[in-house]
Structure 1
Amino acid sequence: MASDDLRTTLERVGERFNLGEYGTDAYLAVLEHGELTASEISERTDIPQPRVYDTVRSLSDRGLVELRESRPMKVVAIDPAEAFEELESSLDRMIAELEARYTAPARETEAVSLVRSRATILRYVEEVIESAEYELALSLTPSLLERFETQLGRAVDHGVSVDLIVTPGAEAPDPDEYDYTTVCTNARTRRGITTPVIAVADGEYSVYATQDAIRDDRERYGVIFNRSALGFLLSGFYGTVLWTTSEELISDGTDRSFPRIYASIRRCVKDLQTVEGPLYATVRGRDVLTGEPRVVRGRVIEITFEHTEEVAGLTVETEDGTVTIGGQVATLEDIESHELWIGKEEPPEIE
């Protein structure tokens, strides 16, 4: 239903139920008795006699009663199923359209939420993009790329590292004609419509939905990890399944300054492979064996990275010896990293 049609339907429904000052009393009285004269309506209600005729003619105009021109005039009830049949159909269509447009308020206390409305899913995608402080992983359709172009431009301007997959690839803008560097750091494309729509901010706040859920509202759902540590599930799926099976459009579209901040070990390691000179790291995470929070500071002496991106890690030389750094749910390394701050001169101070 188009916006103008929906507005007209809402107005028509509102007018149909706006029976005026005395309309409701008159209508209920006629329904109860089936047939009444104007005098009888006045006797059974608080409607003044001079106002009865205007009131029942208004009900007749709305198709709720029938006026029989006799002496005296009789007001005859119409079966409500017949009187409201067209309105009932309009209400069903109107409610379906209103539901499709409904945007549920964000529920900050819920770690994981299921949402069905297309409008609500898109609202969360926008919120995830705008909430990113230093890292974004995105899988968007070309139409969604256009929709969120302004928000992505702001993220890039603020120094956020943005990995972008555009799918289906056949519809992705040509990099010779479209400046991807204004909306992302790296861009790839993936064929077909099986790739889901994903947005992950800083490894936590994230959205997952199928492309079908974005195209229509036919009982399909999106999943929201609302600033939850479970967001690493989407981040890992994105990095190891989607990114590794996509084709490059642009790489290193922006030259980021130091210090750099990362939520994903893979994103961090990929960036550092092309950086020359000594690097220093400050890592906030937890000890793999004890689970206790730890902050590690020191010089990066080794970068571990496989082209499949299944293995990514850092080795940092600290005052207490070398420490290996892995990503979320790390098991082989010493530290599971949650935030990685990388500098050129010395280990950065965490803000």
Structure 2
Amino acid sequence: MDDDDLAGLLERFGLSRKEIDTYLAILEHGESKASTIADAADVSKRYVYSISEELEDRGFVEVDDHSVPTLIRPVAPETVVDRLTRSVEEIEPEIRTRYTETERPGEQFEVIKSRQTVRKRIRSLLADAETEVTLSLPAEVLPQIRSTLEETVDRGVLVLLLLGGAESERQDIASLAGTASTVRTWDALVPTMLTVDRRHGLLAPSELLTDSTSETRAISLTQEQLAPVLAGSFLANYWPTAEERYVTAPRELPRTYEGFRNAVFQIALHRAADTRLEATVTGRPIGDRDLPATLTGEIVDVRQSLVRPATSTLPIENAFRLEVDDERYTIGGSGAFLEEFEADSVTIRRLEAE
């Protein structure tokens, strides 16, 4: 830490720049006369006498005015730090009693300069994920967030992970197991893109996480209109091109999903194993269709490209067909408009053979 950094920290404790220069001179010279300190700090001798009394009151120095000439000596660093720490500890409960929490704005944008902060933000967003995650990043970064990814998957969150760069081709299936619901790799570098629960997003050039000298920046956002666009770009432009390397086993049923893509993903896995499924969906009909708020029936088709083989006509299409009393209805997720029913939650069960 240089003098400017230290000065910036001392300013937080109420010291002016001149006071800091004087204090630093006292620290460097040890017990000294006022004239010596004045020369070192480029201030007047009278100012040194005046400011030393204030620094003494704050516990930074001691003034021996019984000696001739007067001597000024710095207080031991551990004593100064202890006093400052106790002051902060005394302030904290008083601040808490006066603090009024206000709701944070619903839309937030932040430019992040540090790759350490980007990694920390990725781990934080993953830890808070509730329904789904899409994530692309350089393969060499995986070990740094692996444990957080595994915890996210263990909570039942859908995690679509795309690893880019030459290192991705050297990843074996065993090393990928448990890191995501499904993992794809691409030998080209891909931008770091993260979306969480259709609300939070992060976008950064790949070199920000791989090159310590990079001066690129990341953008973090909380925006319900933009985060799905970022997820759509991931699913349409990168996910179809990458090679599927790992797919988790289907989860035990019955199970209820608030995240629609997560439900579609599990339906695709179970149908690939020739499991007959029944679903109960709650939500609302689209348009002026006369349908109840809850539908229950057998799943007879699924349209998706989350896992191979893809069955959708568009990479971002996720839907399934439900047969209810000999009628078939197409079920979509949040914002659906081509389907006949928009689902808020989906409960999937095995349909026993008759």
Which TM bucket (shorter chain)?
Answer: 0.5 to 0.7
1:58 to 29, 37, 61: 37
Q: Structure 1 residues 9 and 325 mapped into 2: Cα distance closer, same or farther (>3 Å)?
A: same
Q: TM-score, normalised by structure 1?
A: 0.62
How many angstroms does 1:269 deviate by? 5.0
Q: CA offsets, 1:151-193, max 9 Å, x none?
A: 112122223332210112x022733385211312211112323
Q: Which residue of 1 aligns with 2:145?
A: 148
Which runs of no fewer than 5 residues in structure 2 stay unpaired? 23-31, 46-102, 305-309
1:183 to 179, 183, 190: 179
Counterpart of 2:276, as a letter, is P
Q: Tell me the SS of whatever aligns to 1:133.
A: coil
Which runs of no fewer than 5 residues in structure 1 stay unpaired? 1-5, 28-52, 68-106, 347-351
Cα distance between partner residues in 2 of 1:279 and 1:7: 66
How many angstroms does 1:335 deviate by? 2.0
Q: Which residue of 2 aligns with 1:49?
A: none
1:164 and 2:161 correspond: yes
How many angstroms does 1:224 deviate by? 1.4
Counterpart of 2:164, as a letter, is T
Cα distance between partner residues in 2 of 1:61 and 1:15: 19
1:283 to 281, 284, 289: 281
How many angstroms does 1:270 deviate by? 3.6
Q: Calculate the aligned-residue CA RMSD, in Å.
A: 4.1
Cα distance between partner residues in 2 of 1:295 and 1:138: 33
1:22-37 alignment, distance < 5 Å: 24=19
1:332 to 333, 338, 343: 338
How many angstroms does 1:299 deviate by? 2.1
Q: CA offsets, 1:74-119, max 9 Å, x none?
A: xxxxxxxxxxxxxxxxxxxxxxxxxxxxxxxxx9423342423335
How many angstroms does 1:333 deviate by? 1.0
How many angstroms does 1:330 deviate by? 2.8
1:8-19 alignment, distance < 5 Å: 10-11=5-6
Counterpart of 1:263, as a letter, is F
Q: Which residue of 1 aligns with 2:198?
A: 203
Q: Which residue of 1 aligns with 2:70?
A: none
Q: Is the 8 A contact 2:302 2:319 kept in 1?
A: yes
Q: Is the 8 A contact 1:129 1:199 kept in 2?
A: no
Q: Which residue of 1 aligns with 2:350?
A: 344
Q: Structure 1 residues 115 and 182 mapped into 2: Cα distance closer, same or farther (>3 Å)?
A: same
Matched-pair identity in %: 20
How many angstroms does 1:237 deviate by? 2.0
Cα distance between partner residues in 1 of 2:152 and 2:289: 33
Greater CA drift, 334-343 or 127-136: 334-343
Q: Which residue of 1 aligns with 2:52?
A: none
Q: Is the 8 A contact 1:298 1:319 kept in 2?
A: no
Counterpart of 1:152, as a letter, is L
Cα distance between partner residues in 2 of 1:158 and 1:26: 54
Q: Tell me the SS of whatever aligns to 2:239.
A: helix
Cα distance between partner residues in 2 of 1:232 and 1:339: 18
Q: Which residue of 2 aligns with 1:45?
A: none
What is the number of residues matched between the two proteins? 271
Q: Tell me the SS of whatever aligns to 1:179.
A: helix
